[in-house]
Chains A and B, each alone.
Chain A
Amino acid sequence: MISRRIGAAAAVTALLFASACGGGYDAAGSANATTKVSVTTFGCEIWNTWAISKGVYVKHRLDVELVRSGGGSAAVAAVLSGAADFGYVNGYTAINAYNTGFPIQMVSGANVNALPPAKPAQGVFVGKDSPITSPADLAGKKIAVNEINGINQIVTASWLKANGVEPESVSFVALPFAEQIPAVLSGRVDAAQLGYSLLGNNNDGVRSLADPFASSNKVYIATYVAAKSFVAKGDAAKRFHEAMTETAQQLNDPANKDESFRLLSECQKVPAETLAAQPQNAIEAAVDLAALDRMAQQMVDLKMMQKKPDLEPFVTDFARS
């Protein structure tokens, strides 16, 4: 009787152990097990809606949980504290965090700016009847960006500098994207830097001076970083990059355009036709080290960094183009 009870208890313990530790999951990503990973998000990224609905993450043995983050610096804090495994940050923020000494590595690219001949996806918008017609007219004016020292400010400042305007002569004001165009139209700011896709119904009320991103060559608008210790622990980061690469290939296939906008439309609650009509940034999972290097140089030129860091150890081998 006693031995039978001991046997039953051992079986229950084994079962509990299997369900807790096994069940196809592991913490860091060892062979053949599905890894549960948390990925920070700002909302509806087209690659996430696609990869989740098409099972791309699952195919790469990743059970992705999306976690909202308030911005790039919050995403870096999340990956370092273990609150998230992959942090969604723009390239400038990622370089800056790495340069400060945070133990992070870039594991994947996601979004880069649309370069000519593609239609510009970004603009420096002024009111339709504004007397501002050139970068020089912006000296002494207020420009709205979504965050101070964020990607939009850096790119706009670089564009101004390239056009002979000292960025210090301009006041950058942080305003949420949704409030930028109303602020331009009411005269509270003189210009706003944002994407065409964020104009809402104000296309007719504003005009763009230029796409500032175009003057910066290739810019990583979205990348993913992970803690160095997480990358070293297993192959989950590599599989995440492979999933992103496959997602980018599928999204860049013109045959999938309509479906990708339909899926994004469900997330963003914006008609798919509207999304399809808006110029889009490009999807690119591979990380171009030369482009990152240029971005670092821009920050040095804008005195945001004292000297350019060595980015070799920053970008994982598997993520490079």
Chain B
Amino acid sequence: MSDHGAKRSSLAASAQAMGRGVQSLWLLAALLVVWEIAARLAGSLFVPPVSQIFVAFVDTWLSGSPSSLFLSDQFRVDVLPSLARLGLGYGAAAAIGISAGILIGVWRPAGAFFNPLIRLGMSVPVTALLPIAIVLFGITSGMNVFLIALGCLWPILINTYDGVRGLDRTVVTAARSMRLTRRRYFLQVLLPGASPAIFVGMRISIGIALVLMVISELYAATAGLGFYIVSQQRLFRFPELWAAIVLLALLGILFNAIFAVVERVLLRWHRNVRPEGAEGH
């Protein structure tokens, strides 16, 4: 292909990508425009125009100096503690959920033994345990971390269990016939085989972690995004309150994007072996 042809095809690919971007964002843009117009016409103080929320967002979260990556003091005071709680809670849930899921998946008697306990744990809404968590952990970050970890644990554990139990029998039999060591079986057969299901559980748990992070901070907290939201509501500062909600939405999108990248890298082999047309299902 000539240079001229290559340039043309590269331009066409860029235009196509841009078109896809516009296609996926036009609805959001239209919604924001409608919001702006409707809020201005209604003059509601509870639902301010998008432009006002944007100004509040920048003032509240991004008014810091370049040396602090433009992150404001408010960001440091309320968002960083929330993210630390989320990271610890989610990390603990992932570590416990994956380990326990593999254990009960591999060892059938343990699965049968723990099954009722897991069902019970799954059926209790974690938010109902908030008063108990305060008694157990006091008014500390431990309380928030505990609730996030508990809420995220079940989807990870159950999906890991399902992933282990659902391993392709042919592959398992082949691995056995090859007399793989336990370590090699675990690292080269079990873990890769179960990882698509493990990732599903972990991805579901990201949303749960964000929700629980906010809920656990609405009550008995001294800092955090949930605490900030309540505080602004009490002060009737609705643009700032919406700015916090927008930040939460952006954090959710960011975490999902990061997760998608990690998943794409780690599960590349899985995408390659999936049948044609299975993409995105």
Which A residues are within 8 Å of any B CB, using their own CB?
A: 71-73, 76-77, 80, 93, 96-97, 100-102, 142, 147-150, 171-175, 179, 183, 186-189, 304
Whether B231 sits at the interface, judged by CB under 8 Å, is: yes
Q: Offer 17 A-B interface pairs, CB within 8 angstroms, sorted by A.
A: A72-B234, A73-B233, A76-B236, A96-B235, A101-B45, A148-B234, A149-B231, A149-B235, A173-B222, A174-B219, A174-B221, A179-B131, A183-B139, A187-B138, A188-B135, A188-B138, A189-B139
Interface size counted on chain B using CB atoms at 8 A: 19
- B15 CB → nearest A CB, Å: 47
On chain B, the residues within 8 Å of A101 by CB distance are 45
- B140 CB → nearest A CB, Å: 9
On chain A, the residues within 8 Å of B230 by CB distance are 147-148, 174
* Residue from A76, A100, A102, A148 in contact with B227 in the complex, judged by beta carbons closer than 8 Å: A148
In the assembly, what is the distance between CA of A102 and CA of B134, in Å?
36
On chain A, the residues within 8 Å of B234 by CB distance are 71-73, 93, 147-150
Q: Are the CB atoms of B236 and A100 closer together than 8 Å?
A: yes
Interface centre among B220, B231, B233 (most CB of A within 10 A): B220
In the assembly, what is the distance between CA of A179 and CA of B219, in Å?
12
- Minimum CB distance partner of A97 in chain B: B236
Q: Which 7 A-B pairs have the closest CB atoms?
A: A149-B234, A100-B236, A171-B222, A188-B138, A148-B231, A97-B236, A173-B139
Q: Are the CB atoms of B236 and A304 closer together than 8 Å?
A: no
- Minimum CB distance partner of A96 in chain B: B236
Q: Are the CB atoms of A100 and B237 closer together than 8 Å?
A: yes
Whether B186 sits at the interface, judged by CB under 8 Å, is: no
Whether B46 sits at the interface, judged by CB under 8 Å, is: yes
Which B residues are within 8 Å of any A CB, using their own CB?
A: 45-46, 131, 134-135, 138-139, 219-222, 227, 230-231, 233-237
In the assembly, what is the distance between CA of A101 and CA of B239, in Å?
13
On chain A, the residues within 8 Å of B237 by CB distance are 100
- Minimum CB distance partner of B219 in chain A: A174
Main secondary structure of the interface of A (DSSP, over half): mixed
- Minimum CB distance partner of A74 in chain B: B233
* Residue from A80, A102, A173, A304 in contact with B235 in the complex, judged by beta carbons closer than 8 Å: A304
- A79 CB → nearest B CB, Å: 13
In the assembly, what is the distance between CA of A40 and CA of B133, in Å?
32
On chain B, the residues within 8 Å of A304 by CB distance are 235
In the assembly, what is the distance between CA of A101 and CA of B43, in Å?
11
- Minimum CB distance partner of B143 in chain A: A188
In the assembly, what is the distance between CA of A19 and CA of B114, in Å?
65
- Minimum CB distance partner of B231 in chain A: A148
Q: Are the CB atoms of A142 and B236 closer together than 8 Å?
A: no
- Minimum CB distance partner of B238 in chain A: A100
On chain A, the residues within 8 Å of B131 by CB distance are 179
On chain B, the residues within 8 Å of A76 by CB distance are 236
* Extra contacts besides A172-B222, A174-B221 (10): CB < 8 Å: A96-B236, A97-B236, A100-B236, A147-B230, A148-B231, A173-B139, A173-B221, A174-B230, A183-B139, A186-B135
On chain A, the residues within 8 Å of B227 by CB distance are 148
- B45 CB → nearest A CB, Å: 6
- B32 CB → nearest A CB, Å: 23
In the assembly, what is the distance between CA of A150 and CA of B139, in Å?
19
Q: Are the CB atoms of A175 and B220 closer together than 8 Å?
A: yes
In the assembly, what is the distance between CA of A150 and CA of B24, in Å?
43
- B56 CB → nearest A CB, Å: 13
* Residue from A102, A142, A186 in contact with B222 in the complex, judged by beta carbons closer than 8 Å: A142
Q: A102-B45, A173-B139, A183-B139 are in contact. Are A73 and B222 (CB under 8 A)?
A: no
In the assembly, what is the distance between CA of A304 and CA of B230, in Å?
14
In the assembly, what is the distance between CA of A172 and CA of B234, in Å?
14
On chain B, the residues within 8 Å of A150 by CB distance are 234
In the assembly, what is the distance between CA of A204 and CA of B163, in Å?
57
On chain A, the residues within 8 Å of B235 by CB distance are 96, 149, 304
- Minimum CB distance partner of B236 in chain A: A100
In the assembly, what is the distance between CA of A264 and CA of B233, in Å?
31
- B146 CB → nearest A CB, Å: 14
